[in-house]
Amino acid sequence: MKRKALLAAVAAAVLLMAACGRDEEPAGTSQPSEVSGPVEGEITVWAMGTEGEYLHVLAEDFMAEYPGTTVTVTPVPWDAAHDRIVNAIAAGEVPDVSQIGTTWMGEFGAMGGLDPVPSSIDPGQFFQGAWETTVVDGVSYGVPWYVSAHVLYYRTDLAEAAGVDSPPANWDELRNLAEGAKANGAQYGINLETGVSGAWQTWVTFFWQQGGEFLDPDGETFTLDSPACVAALGLYKEFFDAGLSPDSPSDVPVETRFADGQVASFISGPWMMGIVENAGAEPDTWTVTHLPAEQSGTSFVGGANLSVFADSDNKPLAWAFIEYLSEPEVQAKWYETASALPAVQAAWDEPALATDPRVAVFGEQLQDAKAPPAIPTWEQVAAVIDDQIEQVAVGGAAPEEACQEMQAGAESIGTGL
Amino acid sequence: MIASLYRRAGRLPGSRPARAGQRHEGLVGWSFALPFMVFFTVFMAGPIVAALVTSFTDLRVTDIRDPLNVNLVGVDNYLDVLRSNVFHKAATNTVIFVLVGIPLTMALGLLAAVGLNSGIVKFRTVFRVGYYTPVVTSIAAVAVVWRMLLGAEVGLINGILSGFGITGPRWLTDPSLALGSLIVMAAWRNLGFLMIIFLAGLQAIPRHLYEAAEVDGAGRWHQFWKVTLPMLRPTMLFAAVITGIGYLQFFEEPFVMTQGGPLNSTLSVAYHAYNQFSFGNYGYTAAVAYLLFVAIALLTLFWFKLFRPNT
Q: Chain A to chain B, count of Cβ pairs less than 8 Å apart?
A: 107
Are B94 and B169 found together in one domain? yes
Closest CA to B68 of A18, A26, A13: A18
Per CB-CB distance under 8 Å, the chain A contacts of B280 are 86, 107, 376-377, 380
Are B231 and B267 found together in one domain? yes
Kindly give the interhelix angle for A49-65 and A315-325, rounded to the nearest 10 degrees: 110
Which residues fall within 8 angstroms of residue A223, CB to CB, at 6 or more apart? A212, A213, A214, A215, A216, A407
Asked if B62 and A110 come within 8 Å (Cβ–Cβ), the reply is yes
Are B244 and B122 found together in one domain? yes
Are A382 and A400 found together in one domain? yes
Full domain range(s) for residue B244: 76-306
| DSSP letter assigned to residue A190 | -
Question: Does residue A96 lie in a domain region?
Answer: yes
Q: Give residue-wise pLDDT tens across range A343-396.
A: 999 999 888 888 888 888 998 899 899 999 888 889 899 999 999 999 999 888
Q: What pLDDT score was predicted for residue B311?
A: 55
Residues of chain B falling short of pLDDT 70: 1-20, 309-311
Residue of B nearest to A90 (CA): B65
Does pLDDT of A100 surpass 80? Answer: yes
| C-alpha A329 chain-centroid distance | 24
Are B178 and B248 found together in one domain? yes
Are A145 and A155 found together in one domain? no
Rounded to an integer, the average pLDDT of A245-249 is 85
Question: Does residue B232 lie in a domain region?
Answer: yes
Are B111 and B151 found together in one domain? yes
Are B81 and B184 found together in one domain? yes
Q: How far is A408 from chain B (nearest CA, A)?
A: 11
Please state the domain count of chain A: 2
Which amino acid is located at A355 in the chain?
T
Are A172 and A256 found together in one domain? yes
Q: What pLDDT score was predicted for residue B16?
A: 54
Are A257 and A397 found together in one domain? yes
Tell me the residues of chain A between 233 and 292 that have a Cβ less than 8 Å away from chain B: 248-252
Q: Which of A354, A370, A386 finishes a domain?
A: A370
Average pLDDT, chain A: 88
Are A194 and A326 found together in one domain? no
Report the distance separating Cα B68 and Cα B73, nearest Å: 13
Are A202 and A271 found together in one domain? yes
Asked if B280 and A376 come within 8 Å (Cβ–Cβ), the reply is yes
Q: Give residue-wise pLDDT tens across range A264-297.
A: 999 998 888 888 988 888 888 999 999 999 889 9
Are A235 and A354 found together in one domain? no
| DSSP letter assigned to residue A139 | E
What phi and psi, each to the nearest 5 degrees, are found at residue A139?
-120, 135
Sequential DSSP letters for A310-351? TT-S-HHHHHHHHHHHTSHHHHHHHHHHH-PEESBGGGGGSH
- A17 touches B: beta carbon within 8 Å: yes
Are A159 and A288 found together in one domain? yes
Report the distance separating Cα A156 and Cα A146, nearest Å: 29
Are B98 and B190 found together in one domain? yes
Question: Does residue B173 lie in a domain region?
Answer: yes
Asked if A20 and B151 come within 8 Å (Cβ–Cβ), the reply is no
Asked if B155 and A17 come within 8 Å (Cβ–Cβ), the reply is no
Are B105 and B195 found together in one domain? yes
Question: Does residue B71 lie in a domain region?
Answer: no
B260-292 burial, b for 16+ CB within 10 Å, e for fewer?
A: bbbbbbbbbbbbbbbbbbbbbbbbbbbbbbbbb
Q: Give residue-wise pLDDT tens across range A36-84.
A: 778 889 999 999 988 898 999 999 999 999 999 999 999 999 888 988 9
What three-state secondary structure class fits A179?
A: helix
Residue of B nearest to A375 (CA): B62
Question: Does residue B65 lie in a domain region?
Answer: no
Rounded to an integer, the average pLDDT of A330-340 is 89
Q: What pLDDT score was predicted for residue B283?
A: 93
Report the distance separating Cα B132 and Cα B196, nearest Å: 8
What phi and psi, each to the nearest 5 degrees, are found at residue A20?
-75, 160
Question: Does residue A89 lie in a domain region?
Answer: yes
Q: Give residue-wise pLDDT tens across range A181-235.
A: 999 888 999 999 988 888 999 999 999 999 999 999 888 899 999 999 999 999 9
Report the distance separating Cα B290 and Cα B270, nearest Å: 11
Please state the domain count of chain B: 2
Are B181 and B49 found together in one domain? no
Average pLDDT, chain B: 87
Does pLDDT of A118 surpass 60? Answer: yes
Q: What pLDDT score was predicted for residue A24?
A: 54
Q: What is the CATH number of the domain that holds B197?
A: 1.10.3720.10
Q: Give residue-wise pLDDT tens across range B151-170.
A: 887 889 988 998 888 888 88
- B154 touches A: beta carbon within 8 Å: yes
Asked if A380 and B52 come within 8 Å (Cβ–Cβ), the reply is no
Per CB-CB distance under 8 Å, the chain A contacts of B52 are 13
Asked if B69 and A9 come within 8 Å (Cβ–Cβ), the reply is no
Question: Does residue B242 lie in a domain region?
Answer: yes
Q: Residue A146 burial (CB < 10 Å; 0-12/13-18/19+)?
A: buried
Q: Could you tell me the pTM of the whole model?
A: 0.81
Question: Does residue A288 lie in a domain region?
Answer: yes
Does pLDDT of A417 surpass 50? Answer: yes
- B176 touches A: beta carbon within 8 Å: no
Which residues fall within 8 angstroms of residue B104, CB to CB, at 6 or more apart? B183, B184, B187
Per CB-CB distance under 8 Å, the chain B contacts of A376 are 60-62, 280
Full domain range(s) for residue A234: 151-298+375-413
Are B193 and B46 found together in one domain? no
Are A324 and A387 found together in one domain? no
Q: What is the CATH number of the domain that holds A79?
A: 3.40.190.10
Are A322 and A195 found together in one domain? no
Are B199 and B302 found together in one domain? yes
Question: Does residue A73 lie in a domain region?
Answer: yes
Are A283 and A169 found together in one domain? yes
Are B50 and B116 found together in one domain? no
Q: What pLDDT score was predicted for residue A357?
A: 84
Q: Give residue-wise pLDDT tens across range B33-87.
A: 999 999 999 999 999 999 999 999 988 888 887 878 888 888 999 999 999 889 9
Alpha helices in chain B, H assignment, sequence order? 2-9, 16-40, 46-54, 76-83, 85-114, 124-136, 139-150, 156-163, 178-203, 207-215, 220-223, 229-231, 233-248, 252-257, 269-278, 282-306
Closest CA to B102 of B237, B228, B202, B225: B237
Question: Does residue A13 lie in a domain region?
Answer: no
Are A254 and A394 found together in one domain? yes
